[in-house]
Chain A
């Protein structure tokens, strides 16, 4: 997965591209979680994410838990229908702030 990070004020925006599976999830975890250290608003741009596996969901769950613990905002934008289906099926739609 390609991760492109831009930071502005207290906001970090990560533009992702590719697949979020067992192989790439640890990479996202490494890049995503440290963002909560400084930012109080972290946005994941999912527009070019075509597949999310359970390992990918786990990273998102971790991010959500981290955000809640810190009182920060964690938002996912531009989710395609296929991925949204996964979110819906697994109940993540109720958990995550998805736009």
Chain B
């Protein structure tokens, strides 16, 4: 907006300046013409006054003298000696007014260049010359019309005396009764005047025209086309009619077109009836101002461009550069350099943006570091949990067959841990030569606390069992120990059985655990009806019931955790006790390892890709007898 206003202001100012300047230039030309005209006017006035003076002398000669030739000659010589502006002139009388005998009486004097002085020339009185018939005499007499004052002849070329362009002004001599008796004449060699006017050339292609319209006569025409128009009628100039004159001595300004160029004519009428006109190509009058205008415009444009460049530099300095800096900074940030600080201190929006970015960078860095720390922590914990699980698993007996030299029984067990470390375990060991203990347990919940609880439970059970205590006593002791300081209310469901190998007597106690399955020789597996004791660690001082049965050769016991019966399919449906029973009976006659694999496969196909939520722990024991 600022620049647009500037341009408009310049245009208006420039237009006004041009207009004012044009007026000034036009006035200047008018004044030149007026000045030159005045010079001519002055000469004309002098010539006319001299003619009047000389006519007055002629009147005195006619009325009041004895009219001697000597007097007449003397008047002329004295007159022109005193008035060197004229080349010559004299007093001329009408036929016979001086002397009835003599037709022509005249006294002509002129400046003789050879003699260097004015002298009388008698030749003009001759009959041969007969001044009475000369053009100038006839014209002046005619143009005077009997009045006082002066009259001018048309310009002519004097081929008798001066051999130059002349014009003559005359004034009448009248007798007392007012009859015209003669005239005075003053010859004006107009060469100098014409030359001077011709030299007026305000601009390169301007020219001058001086015309005597009354005489239909061109005095000078200075247009450079190689033709002299002097003496011709101005009518041969087809634009002549378009020039306008005022009837006073003011300069008229008009325009006309010549050869496709517009001219401005500065014209003035002189008091002798001549017209003086200077024609100036309009363009040239104003060429100077155009030049100046152009120069001014150039300066303006240069200034304008300089301001634009300056503005652009300023914008670049205060806006673009910071934004570029910002972009570079943000790009660097994007490439991961979180230590990058964008250094823009300005208090504008860009500066605020930069500060926001810096803050964001710091926050981002902190956040990423935080995340990295948390991630590392998780990794570490994950790794530790893995180790914990490995330790947990390694605590379970895993070499099968565990007692290759014992032929009285077969035992096989597996634990398939869930993704998260859990609290299932199985265990078996020989208390002595004749007694085999089997344990299966499930600690409530999951994770490291459960795993730790499982380890304690496993060790407590084993250490108590190894002392030879019966299962109920083992559980009571362990329960008491687990209840101590058990503020988190963790508990364990467990089943423990002790097989007396020689007799096949199987003593067992159930602490809230899933009932085992038992298979008699040549029969199906069935759920063992047990008296449900409370979970271990649940209630201090709980008394556990011990039960017993006798295994025959070929009888089998299957222990499991709820990871089996509560395995889930994608719709969260449970595997259920019934399905376990069906499944186990489908392969009841295979060996323990195959049996457990079969059940595991059935669970897998039931789960149908659903994530295993709990440990799946199974233990199978077959009594083979002595």
Residues on A close to B: CB < 8 A? 19, 21-22, 25, 51, 53-55, 57-59, 61-62, 65, 82, 85, 88-95
Contact = CB atoms under 8 A, between A and B. Distances in A.
A47 to B, nearest CB: 18
B444 A58 contact: yes
A17 B446 CA distance: 22
B533 A57 contact: no
Contacts of A89: 512-515, 532
A19 B511 CA distance: 24
Instruction: Give the most central of B443, B533, B538: most A CB within 10 Å.
Output: B538
Contacts of A22: 445-446, 613
B contact residues, range: 20 to 34
A65 B445 contact: no
A58 B490 contact: yes
B493 A21 contact: no
Contact of B442 (A54, A82, A85, A93): A54
A58 B512 CA distance: 12
B284 interface: no
Given A22-B613, A91-B512, A91-B532, A53 B489 contact: no
B534 A95 contact: yes
Nearest to A82: B574
Could you tell me the dominant secondary structure of chain A's interface residues? helix
Given A21-B613, A53-B566, A55-B445, A90 B489 contact: no
A57 B613 contact: no
B614 interface: yes
B444 A92 contact: no
Contact of B572 (A19, A62, A88): A19
23 contacts: A22-B613, A25-B445, A53-B562, A54-B443, A54-B445, A55-B444, A55-B445, A57-B491, A58-B490, A58-B491, A59-B489, A61-B489, A61-B538, A62-B489, A65-B489, A82-B574, A89-B515, A90-B512, A90-B532, A90-B535, A91-B535, A92-B535, A95-B534
Interface string B573-594: 0100100000000000000000
B444 A95 contact: no
B391 interface: no
Contacts of A61: 489, 491, 535, 538
Nearest to A29: B489
A95 B538 contact: yes
B539 interface: yes
Given A54-B491, A59-B489, A90-B535, 13 more contacts: A21-B613, A22-B445, A51-B572, A54-B493, A54-B562, A58-B445, A61-B538, A88-B532, A90-B512, A91-B533, A91-B534, A94-B534, A95-B538
A93 B532 CA distance: 9
Contacts of B443: 54
